[in-house]
Amino acid sequence: MGTAQNDNTIYLLVRADDIGSFHAANVGCIESYQNGIARSVELMPVCAWFPEAVQLLNENPGLDVGIHLTLTSEWSNVKWRPLIHCPGLVDEDGYFLPMVWKNPNFPEGSSISESDWNLAEVEKELRAQIELSLKHVSHISHLSNHMGFTMLDPKIAELVNRLAKEYNLKVNTEGLQRFTGWDRDAPMEQRIEEFCMNLEKLTPGQYLFVEHPAVASHEMKTVGHVGYENVAEDREWVTRVFTSEKVKQTIQKKGIKLISYKDLK
């Protein structure tokens, strides 16, 4: 779909990232679709909970799926490895490096920007992730990237665009405006109110909102890194917003049309 000049509709694409990363994320993402406003979800094929995510996605064929291409492993207590041999993308233990760019919360050498990566290696790994995902989930429509690694180098962005074309998947979000759901500095308990308030302010056009739903389980409470320790609570509140009756009522009252990547031309 595309908005015509005289189209007065507000279109909102709500994207739930990181299904496959944790059981808690799988639960939150599916809940956000079945009982909430999420219409697209991003699948991480390198993660331990990928098989459960595959099962859940195949049980929910109406949920639009993207492959969340991943080249980093940011959390302290759980790590992800590449699907193939990628010496330029991993640490001394064979795990993906934590960051895309240098981060003051991490030791020197913790980012791809500081590593000896090469494009051929990146391409092989991304192909492996795409092909594993397509092997197990038939209703995949698009590619996305974890932690924005395509901005590291224009050659990587060009590679992902080329792979998207080759595998007949969407990749860019041109024409979509980023929707700011809530103020990052506000208490989490205010997110529903702020989200509804900002929905009310939307004018006709196409908007994208990206967040990471999960549940605050014992598993999720072990997840974090220096600089981002309250992951479980933060992502629990994403799920609460996505499934909020007040949010759903505001969307209906405002006449907002929820869309997915499949709906974009």
Q: Rounded to an integer, what distance in angstroms lies between the CA atom of residue 40 and that of residue 49?
A: 18
CB 97, CB 112: distance < 8 Å: yes
List CB contacts of 61: < 8 A, sequence separation 6 or more: 138, 139
pLDDT at 3 over 50: no
For range 225-253, the mean pLDDT: 97
The pLDDT of residue 188 is 92
Domain ranges of the chain: 10-77+119-263
* CATH number for the domain whose boundaries are 10-77+119-263: 3.20.20.370
For range 196-211, the mean pLDDT: 97
CB 167, CB 142: distance < 8 Å: no
For range 179-199, the mean pLDDT: 94
pLDDT band of 1, cuts 50, 70, 90:
low
The pLDDT of residue 265 is 67
The pLDDT of residue 186 is 85
